[in-house]
Amino acid sequence: YAMLLSLIFLIVLVAAVVGFVFRHEIKTNFESNLNLALKDYNVTADRHSEAVDTIQRTLHCCGVQNYLDWQRTEYFTQRGIPQSCCRSQDDCSEEDLKDLSKAKLKVFVDGCFFLVTSTMESKMSVVAGISFGIACSQLIGIILACCLSQYITNNQYEMV
């Protein structure tokens, strides 16, 4: 049991170190995937499009760097900026969303990439604290399992 807990502890430790070392690559991959999701955005029930809409509504942002990122998409040429960028759903018409000068007054102008990464970084202390607590409980379990094994070996119980 102690060896199994030690193995799990080492796997979690390696995952944490790898995540910390490759955090810049993770950011770069997230940014490129967000750009790709904007490029392929459509109004059908596509899960990437739903994710973009959810991020934009939740974080009150629009596009990757800013709302002008939508200008380079095929969706913009057909329908303008998506409704999920609107500050107020009641005050956003499709004509306003096709005109960038009018849209600037009606949509969130900040990009989502910076908001997502800053939100994740601000929550890192909570994640690190929870991870530290789990690691401590695993180490206590490893120590207690070793103590129990030593106690059983010293008393040499007979098998029945």
Task: Report residue 156 as tokens.
Answer: 């040499």
Give the H or E element holding residue 108. Answer: none
Give the H or E element holding residue 132. Answer: helix 124-155
Question: Mean pLDDT over residues 6-25, rounded?
Answer: 85
Q: How confident is the model at residue 62 (pLDDT cuts 50, 70, 90)?
A: very high
Question: What is the domain extent for residue 117?
Answer: 1-158
Closest CA to 65 of 23, 109, 28: 109
Residue 35 maps to which CATH number? 1.10.1450.10
- Cβ-contact 34, 52 below 8 angstroms: yes
Q: How many domains does the chain have?
A: 1
Question: Is residue 107 classed as helix, strand or coil in its secondary structure?
Answer: strand
What pLDDT score was predicted for residue 157?
A: 59
